[in-house]
């Protein structure tokens, strides 16, 4: 029986390097059980939208307002989306939203959860906090998303060394190149494969 690849939406807010890693992994065959069909951004000037357009992926800008989550749901429904990937999506989703997609929303976070995670820990702030605390090892985590920020079941983690001369920027770059861009596409394939198996 031939089964269509799992329909994936990637939610973004900024530069979209993790989205790029997913698109590249799709091209190189690392991701074969899923296909990115839609990119949603809450920020109309996100560079991620340019990356999506360059790859020929449909984009939607949904700005934060009172109907924010309902508008996202309508957009996902109209595209038949089966798996949501939060890749640098800087919005917290409500319980009503997350319970609608149990085990079907994943997120990449730039630390080894449970360190430096939860409300207020996003983007460069995570690396600032890690340097301030003086940790010698940090990394990235891919996890399922529930109503607790960064609180869902862990899917994958990868450790990265902190260097003495690191700035938040140099550390962020190393965590991305050595961890996020590797574990996120692998996790997308793993979950897509599991969802495909479940359809058989």
Query: Which residue intervals of 116-156 are DSSP H helices?
Result: 124-133
For residues 196 and 130, give the distance between their C-alpha atoms in angstroms, rounded to a whole number: 38
Of 91 and 196, CB closest to ligand GAR: 91
Cβ 27 to ligand GAR shortest distance, Å: 17
Return residues touching ligand GAR (CB under 6 A).
14-18, 48, 87-88, 108-110, 122-123, 126, 176, 180
Based on DSSP, count helices (H) and strands (E) in the chain, helices before strands: 7, 7
Residue nearest to ligand GAR (CB): 88
Of 18 and 138, CB closest to ligand GAR: 18
146 neighbors 106 (Cβ within 8 angstroms): no
Of 18 and 33, CB closest to ligand GAR: 18
Element (H or E) spanning 59, and its range? strand 58-61
For residues 6 and 2, give the distance between their C-alpha atoms in angstroms, rounded to a whole number: 12
For residue 162, give the DSSP letter: P
Of 5 and 123, CB closest to ligand GAR: 123
Cβ 34 to ligand GAR shortest distance, Å: 18
Whether cis (ω within 30° of 0) applies to the bond prior to 160 is: no
| Residues with catalytic function | 109
105 neighbors 191 (Cβ within 8 angstroms): no
* CA angle, residues 108, 96, 61, in degrees to nearest 5: 60
Cβ 122 to ligand GAR shortest distance, Å: 4
Cβ 86 to ligand GAR shortest distance, Å: 7
């Amino acid at each position: 029986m031939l089964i269509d690849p799992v329909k994936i939406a990637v939610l973004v807010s900024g530069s979209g390097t993790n989205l790029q890693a997913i698109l590249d992994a799709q091209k190189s065959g690392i991701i074969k059980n899923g296909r990115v069909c839609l990119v949603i951004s809450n920020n109309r000037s996100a560079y991620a939208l340019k990356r999506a357009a360059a790859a020929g992926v449909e984009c939607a800008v949904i700005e934060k307002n009172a109907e924010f989550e309902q508008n996202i749901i309508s957009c996902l429904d109209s595209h038949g989306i089966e798996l949501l990937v939060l890749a640098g999506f800087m919005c917290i989703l409500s319980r009503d939203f997350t319970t609608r997609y149990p085990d079907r929303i994943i997120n990449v976070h730039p630390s080894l959860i449970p360190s430096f995670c939860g409300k207020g820990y996003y983007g460069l702030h995570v690396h600032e906090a890690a340097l301030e605390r003086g940790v010698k090892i940090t990394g990235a985590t891919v996890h399922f998303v529930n109503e607790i920020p960064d609180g869902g079941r862990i899917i994958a983690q990868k450790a990265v060394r902190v260097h003495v001369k690191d700035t938040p920027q140099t550390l962020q770059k190393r965590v991305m190149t050595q961890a996020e861009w590797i574990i996120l596409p692998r996790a997308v394939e793993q979950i897509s494969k599991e969802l495909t198996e479940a359809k058989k």
